[in-house]
Amino acid sequence: MREQGFQLVATTHPRAVVAPGVLSGEGTVIAAGAVINPGVRIGKSVIINTSTILDRDCQIDDGAHIGPRARLAGRVSVGRGTWIGIGATVIDGLRIGTGAVIGAGAVVVDGIPDGVLAYGVPAKVIKGINKDDP
């Protein structure tokens, strides 16, 4: 849509709690019940879904989707186009790679590389993701 000249806006539900000074890019949606703490930076076209918590100083890159009730502790970095499933938990200071998928309910206690599927408690890398796979 950007290539066709449309300008996207960031939208925040009135029942989301967003700390002053939080930066979010165009096309980003912050859903009801989300709590976003100070120092968080959110890229373009990101979905911060219902009742998600982003603690202090997280960085969410463009095109990421943070699923409902996901919990990211402080200083978590989420790569471009990454998907974090419903109810996932990520401990403090980790990096979730670009294009990764974190399964529902996962508990991430170690960094996750680019382009992989990880799930479980604790989360383990299951396989690489090839965008050409069916």
Q: Is residue 123 part of a domain?
A: yes
Number of domains in the chain: 1
In a domain, 133, yes or no: no
Residue 82, domain member (yes or no): yes
Which range, of 5-14, 74-83, 109-118, averages the lowest pLDDT? 5-14
Whether 13 is catalytic: no
Residue 96 placed within a domain: yes
Q: Would residue 17 count as lying in a domain?
A: yes
**pLDDT of 15 over the 70 cut:** yes
Looking at the domain assignment, is residue 60 inside a domain? Answer: yes
DSSP the chain: -GGGT-----EE-TT-EE-TT-EE-TT-EE-TT-EE-TT-EE-TT-EE-TT-EE-TT-EE-TT-EE-TT-EE-TT-EE-TT-EE-TT-EE-TT-EEPTT-EE-TT-EE-S-B-TTEEEETTTTEEEEE--TT--
Statement: residue 113 has pLDDT above 80: yes
pTM of the model: 0.92
- What pLDDT, on a 0 to 100 scale, did the predictor assign at position 1? 64
For the segment 23-38, what is each residue's pLDDT rounded down to a tens digit?
A: 999 999 999 999 999 9
Two tokens, residue 96: 């979730």
Domain with 79 in it: 2-128
CATH of residue 42's domain is 2.160.10.10
Q: Mean pLDDT over all residues of the chain? A: 94
- Active-site residue among 52, 54, 58, 65? 65
pLDDT at 133 over 90: no
- Give the model's confidence band at 9: pLDDT under 50 very low, under 70 low, under 90 confident, else very high: confident
